[in-house]
Structure 1
């Protein structure tokens, strides 16, 4: 079928199905609820441990031929997939927005970044994948990168297309097969959208398996003996469990986890620009982003005025169904997450934080919220909220700001806003963070950059751009001689 006539985002394609290279019937089903309306959106197959076992076996068989496929043929699959996704971007973006509860601009952003990920994957098979090493005369010494085999990918609900594809695409590009378990709340955005474009682009059958399911399916994937690596993106508590289980089975594991990210606003900052940056970093996609601006460190001399302006902006941001009109914030993904956000705000106010704006909700629609007078020990200071809450913390000097930023187990993203780039760079050198943005907020990822955190934000690995070869392959040392030498034995 020509790519231009291949329809995407048609729910009947995957109704009650799983994907193993073909759309196959599943013994059980998952009903996906649209967060904004509370109504059923579509129904997909539900995978259990048995489906994972079958998928791993088939993926191992398919991977051998794929690794031996000429590089230009592998690259062509990703070129075609990128073109198809770009061609039908609006259709895919609308369904992603509905499934995730995001505004349409967020859905479009995911699709645009996914196109770049596919284009980047198309380049990888044609890149150098080794080195010639110095050695003794008469011996050629090489180090080359080889695929690991089958990569298990477990992805979250918040930016599911990007956070699945950033592992799926490079892992496939360098010769692996992939078994993908998307979050069961976002199976299209996190899995079936990828299956559709790669299937239409000619990816050989058996190389990609998409298995929405619960914790039992995830555990089966981590424990499967034919899966040498797990790439997990999600919460820190879940990441700790997966890391422990993967370590028990001696698997390579990439953990991209939560964050309690800080934005430092110096006294010389432009307040209007700072407020705009804070609002975006704290409220984009309802704050359900691992890089969200969770703590705002503001110099005490400007703290009151900045807080007033931020609260005014927060009260003006419209909240509602993204499909029904132009809104800035959509719904929280589900009631469990809503109650988590609400409890952190309520407990922090009870502990002495001041509620400057928001703190209310209508169903899953939680208003943009501003808390001031947030101090260490409060839940709003310590915990990842994963909701639209900006927490204001005043500081008196740069040393105090650095201490407050580093007073966390997390280490994902940080930003600094100052009229002095030199001062901001000097501050940044002292922060424990995987991502650092000078004169910008904390939510930034161009998908071709190394992305990763430390501490409770991850295990020190990075994904994206130059990090992908390191992530999804292993080194093999090869030596070549014209004939075997004599040895003194």
Structure 2
């Protein structure tokens, strides 16, 4: 299987290997499988806990000199990396499509986001990194940002490139070294791609190491004393374990844990546009997006029409091998995820939800599904499905909508669709969410904007923009006197 730009991602370079600045043989391997076809794409090298120890020590040695180089040098390297993502777009898109089940459009958007994230990180490298503060003594008193050290980055399968680069790029730009553990199911698009891009950009050996592996490898990264900051993206259940493990060691742990997001549709909006926004929010990448809408809350006066039109639109979507341009939904990542999605749909129907459309699958291809929810919410409504399922429930007033939005332990994204921006702002003031979008879908992100949620969606960390300064640096107080202070006991 040949792709444009294959030289950068040629499997002979990385097959059966891990990356510690150079590719070297791994003690364990895993087949890279196309979930749409079952085709074997290659053999990924998996790291061991011993590899983590060696990688952390290597990273610690490399980061000292990296932190001392001019910020302009680090910025230039990040810009080169951003340009390389764009230059090798076709090859990277090919791997995102074949390895993660991404559609062509989603994969291209992910590569574009990776390039933009690198350019934003380049700007971050040259941003003001401290402030002069007043002192009651005759001296200069100031704060300054210094690199945190070795950063552990643990990422999931669903947006393997975007979710890795959003931590790797700013961490490197600010003078840190990174140990990256991508999900083993997307070891190429979430790991090999970054290793090869940054090596081609000229990153010094040891500053980025890619260690795909199992939970034991992730635990070893968290536990290693040289790793001072951990960035984790995954489920709330796994996030709790990461937080507990890191907390015992007094490490900074940054958690992005997804959410069961709400899309609120008022009766004064354009219903056809609202349906498309709703479908995009629930069905993009088969619903395997942390920002996906898991709850459609629709004003009672248009509820029936919205449900019917959303189902009609869902029926029109082509589900299949995403290597074909006309496909709107590809496969779920594996059998385990497909079976979980189907269980939630079946349990919800048994509990009283009306299956309007979907609810069927062929291999890993799950049809986009619309559920009309009863008064008492079902499992698919209450839980983050991580599949192409849109539960729809009616509301009557702004107060009821606010109550329904808040009736969930997660708080990542809320979308409010209405022609009355004042009404939308009233609702926005009453919902617990890290991101609120008025007349945009729930799935929306820009690298320069802060990303994160409340409740079980995370622990207060924000990724993106100046928030990355807080994430990947320490604040140091520095005082300077023109001569030695005179002190007495």
Bucket of the pairwise TM-score, normalised by the shorter protein: over 0.9
Matched, 1:422 2:422: yes
| Cα gap change, 1:147 to 1:203, in 2 (>3 Å) | same
Cα contact 2:5–2:91 (8 A) shared by 1: no
Tell me which residue corresponds to 2:357: 357
- Deviation (angstroms), 1:5: 8.8
Tell me which residue corresponds to 1:40: 40
- Deviation (angstroms), 1:189: 1.2
Q: 1:84 and 1:374 mapped to 2: Cα distance? A: 50
Tell me which residue corresponds to 1:312: 312
Tell me which residue corresponds to 1:446: 446
Higher mean C-alpha displacement, 74-83 vs 113-122:
74-83
Q: What is the aligned-residue RMSD (CA, Å)? A: 1.3
- Deviation (angstroms), 1:486: 2.3
User: Per the alignment, in what secondary structure is the counterpart of residue 8 of structure 1?
Assistant: helix
User: Per the alignment, in what secondary structure is the counterpart of residue 152 of structure 1?
Assistant: strand
Q: 1:72 and 1:488 mapped to 2: Cα distance? A: 44
Tell me which residue corresponds to 2:250: 250
**Residues 158-214 of structure 1: per-residue CA shift (max 9 Å, x gap):** 011010010000001000000000000001111111111110111000110001000
- Deviation (angstroms), 1:6: 9.1
Tell me which residue corresponds to 2:181: 181
Cα contact 1:9–1:95 (8 A) shared by 2: no
How is 1:274-285 mapped onto 2 (pairs within 5 angstroms)? Answer: 274-285=274-285
Higher mean C-alpha displacement, 309-318 vs 320-329:
320-329
Q: 2:350 and 2:100 mapped to 1: Cα distance? A: 32
Tell me which residue corresponds to 1:58: 58
Q: 2:262 and 2:402 mapped to 1: Cα distance? A: 10
User: Per the alignment, in what secondary structure is the counterpart of residue 122 of structure 1?
Assistant: helix
Matched, 1:78 2:78: yes
User: Per the alignment, in what secondary structure is the counterpart of residue 218 of structure 1?
Assistant: helix
Q: 2:297 and 2:89 mapped to 1: Cα distance? A: 38
Tell me which residue corresponds to 1:151: 151
User: Per the alignment, in what secondary structure is the counterpart of residue 185 of structure 2?
Assistant: coil
Q: 1:360 and 1:196 mapped to 2: Cα distance? A: 39
Tell me which residue corresponds to 1:194: 194
- Deviation (angstroms), 1:67: 0.3
**Residues 233-273 of structure 1: per-residue CA shift (max 9 Å, x gap):** 11111111101100011100100012000011011111101
**Residues 56-76 of structure 1: per-residue CA shift (max 9 Å, x gap):** 000000000100112222122
Q: 2:5 and 2:335 mapped to 1: Cα distance? A: 39
Tell me which residue corresponds to 1:483: 483
User: Per the alignment, in what secondary structure is the counterpart of residue 277 of structure 2?
Assistant: helix
Q: TM-score of the superposition, structure 1-length normalised? A: 0.98
Q: 2:374 and 2:234 mapped to 1: Cα distance? A: 26
| Cα gap change, 1:486 to 1:376, in 2 (>3 Å) | farther
| Cα gap change, 1:124 to 1:338, in 2 (>3 Å) | same
Q: 1:393 and 1:5 mapped to 2: Cα distance? A: 47
- Deviation (angstroms), 1:41: 1.5
Tell me which residue corresponds to 1:104: 104
- Deviation (angstroms), 1:137: 4.8
Higher mean C-alpha displacement, 67-76 vs 163-172:
67-76
Aligned residue pair count: 486
Gaps of 5+ in 2: none
- Deviation (angstroms), 1:458: 0.2
User: Per the alignment, in what secondary structure is the counterpart of residue 415 of structure 2?
Assistant: strand
- Deviation (angstroms), 1:403: 0.5
**Residues 117-138 of structure 1: per-residue CA shift (max 9 Å, x gap):** 1111222222211101111352
Q: 1:91 and 1:217 mapped to 2: Cα distance? A: 28
Gaps of 5+ in 1: none
User: Per the alignment, in what secondary structure is the counterpart of residue 387 of structure 1?
Assistant: coil
Matched, 1:236 2:236: yes
User: Per the alignment, in what secondary structure is the counterpart of residue 83 of structure 1?
Assistant: helix
Cα contact 2:292–2:443 (8 A) shared by 1: yes
Cα contact 2:124–2:466 (8 A) shared by 1: no
User: Per the alignment, in what secondary structure is the counterpart of residue 457 of structure 2?
Assistant: coil
Cα contact 1:410–1:455 (8 A) shared by 2: yes
| Cα gap change, 1:325 to 1:84, in 2 (>3 Å) | closer
Cα contact 2:287–2:389 (8 A) shared by 1: yes
User: Per the alignment, in what secondary structure is the counterpart of residue 144 of structure 2?
Assistant: strand
Tell me which residue corresponds to 1:335: 335
Q: 1:294 and 1:286 mapped to 2: Cα distance? A: 12
